[in-house]
Chains A and B, each alone.
Chain A
Amino acid sequence: MNRLLLNKIILLLSTLSALIGISFLFWILATLSYKGITSIQWITFTKDLVEGGIRNLLVGQFTMALLATLVAVPVGMMAGIYLREYGHGSKLAAVIRNLSDVMMSAPSIVIGVFVFALLVDPFNGYNGWAGVVALSIMMIPIIISTTDNMLALVPQELREAGMALGGSKHKIILQIVVRAAKVGITTGVLLSFARIIGETAPLLFTSANNQFFTMDLTEQFPSLTVSIYNLATYPDEASRQLAWAASFILTTIVLIINLFGRFIIRNKK
């Protein structure tokens, strides 16, 4: 075949695939917005699931995701600091780095099963804490990898300058290195938060769901995503509408956090 023609065909196909990718995004967002906006009512935000709203679900989902963040950020950052600042170059750090990457891609449903066996089965049944733990396990490896990568970008000279001033190792890390990598790490935290707040599979049999408003993490805990899964499969129209409204709100939250995370790191450059 004519090589110029072949070139044209391949380039055309590539452009076409980009177009297909983009059109799917618009298709999904368009149907979601249409269905979502037409289904949202005032009571969607003011009432709990039992009365046809999602107030308790939003609060529940955010509570679990925020608590998971409170666990995962310090643990993940400290682990990232170890990998980059203390154990750098050691075999142990290399092994842990790879294991953490593997954990990042572990199937989320398996994490759900694991936490069920650990925190649900032996105790009184579904509880909010189990959901928090499952989400933390999802989040920790993402924070580790972000911290690790962001600290790697900090110039060695900065650390040396700190040493020249006589700073102790942990002071240099906390006051110079981490501070220099602050924006990148913040973006990583925001993106991983956006990821876990949309998770369903790890919550299905950990927190499960609750129709009523509760802040008691020892009980079944309300979850927006688990509710979407349940509501969407009910045959009645009202439940489906609520599922669309909830999906639209969830996607909006996830995309806004994502864009915000990208915005702050771009602004820094």
Chain B
Amino acid sequence: MGGKLFRNFSFFSATLSFFILVGIFAILFHYAQESLHEFGFDFLWNQQWEAGEDDEGGIFGGYIPIIGTLSSTVIAMAIAIPLAMGIAIFLTEIASVKVAKPVSVAIELLAAIPSIIYGMWGLFYFAPIVQATFGGNGVGLLTAGIVLAIMIIPFMAAITRDSMNTTPSVLKESAYAMGATKFEVIKDVIMPYSKGGIIGSIILALGRALGETMAVAFLIGSVMHTVGKVTDPTTSIPVLLANNFVEAEDLEMSSMYFLALILFVVSFIIISTAKFYFLGKKVK
């Protein structure tokens, strides 16, 4: 009797995540209808974001925040991938256990710091450095991209380290016995062996960078401008939502939901790809 109840409750809890995901999609889709009908797929290419008079109508296009999201992510990934790989190699192959352990903990703590802290630190301490080095006015695409990179490096490094660690020592030792250097072992044995995990970690970090709100909100400038120079301020989907979502009305609100839907679907695809194709189904 109690057993049946227990089983049913656990079944219900398990299906809940399915319903929440479907619910998110349905709600976003429903509220995005107005904008979808009005603009269709042109929404993706349209650079205008102008409310009509008396909040009636208006023209809304997602081009600027979409490009802002993509380009800040590209900058972040370009910086984060080599550094995260370096850290993972250091932790698995170079450092002694005595060094690797505290460094590992430090990297994981870096991953635990709330993103709003990265944003605030970036605004007051990092933005001036970017301004002094690259010009511009401190906040902008480049600053957002770099701080975003600092944020996702620990996460990427930790997963990459874990998958590099799964390489059997026998494989590495036989390569060393053939006279391979450490780098050759890393390149020809460890990398091919843990390829799936490494690509998976990159894609997961990509998903995280795309959806990151707070760190970017402090740093990207939050203006509806296309970017000419890399130091120019612009905006991204999460930042636009964070700053302007609740003030929007009618068609503008619906366009915000449309953007949220785009972000949700894109990250869903990215994360699913990482899970299904690279990280494997970890059923034991």
Contacts and interface: CB of A to CB of B under 8 A. Distances in A.
A213 interface: no
Contacts of B276: 98
A110 B16 contact: no
Contact of B281 (A21, A98, A152): A98
A201 B218 CA distance: 12
Nearest to A240: B124
A101 interface: yes
Given A200-B214, A232-B120, A86 B7 contact: yes
Interface residues of A, number: 92
B115 interface: yes
A103 B115 CA distance: 19
A171 B3 CA distance: 8
Contacts of B207: 105
A105 B273 CA distance: 12
B199 interface: no
A170 B3 contact: yes
A75 B109 CA distance: 27
B14 A96 contact: yes
A106 B208 CA distance: 8
- The size bracket of the interface on B is 35 or more
B268 A228 contact: no
A255 interface: yes
Contact of A255 (B31, B112, B263): B112
Interface string A17-44: 1101110110110011000000000000
Contacts of B110: 21, 24-25, 28
Max chain A CB contacts within 10 Å: which of B83, B85, B257?
B83
A15 interface: yes
Nearest to A76: B13
Interface stretch (B44-52, B89-97, B223-231): B89-97
B153 A21 contact: yes
Contacts of B114: 198-200, 225, 250-251, 254
B97 to A, nearest CB: 14
A253 B210 CA distance: 27
B83 A21 contact: yes
B28 interface: yes
B128 to A, nearest CB: 12
B206 to A, nearest CB: 10
Contacts, number: 258
Interface in B31-74: 31
* A contacts with B: majority SS: helix
B90 A229 contact: no
A21 B118 CA distance: 14
A50 interface: no
Given A31-B121, A205-B246, A255-B109, A106 B267 contact: yes
Interface in B72-117: 82-87, 89-91, 93-95, 103, 105-110, 112-117
Interface stretch (A2-10, A180-188, A214-222): A2-10
B169 interface: no
A170 to B, nearest CB: 4
A82 B181 contact: no
Contacts of A111: 24
B211 interface: yes
A94 interface: yes
B17 A100 contact: yes
A250 B17 CA distance: 29
Contacts of A18: 86-87, 90-91, 95, 103
B123 interface: yes
Contact of A106 (B24, B86, B93, B284): B24
Given A18-B90, A106-B24, A118-B27, 15 more contacts: A14-B87, A18-B103, A21-B154, A28-B110, A82-B7, A82-B13, A94-B281, A96-B15, A101-B271, A105-B207, A110-B263, A198-B115, A201-B214, A205-B246, A251-B117
3 A-B pairs with least C-beta separation: A107-B211, A198-B114, A17-B86
Interface of A: 3-4, 6-7, 10-11, 13-18, 20-22, 24-25, 27-28, 31-32, 74-76, 78-79, 81-83, 85-87, 89, 93-103, 105-114, 116-118, 137, 140-141, 144, 152, 168-171, 173-174, 191, 194-195, 198-201, 204-205, 225, 228-229, 232-233, 243-244, 247, 250-251, 254-255, 258-259, 262
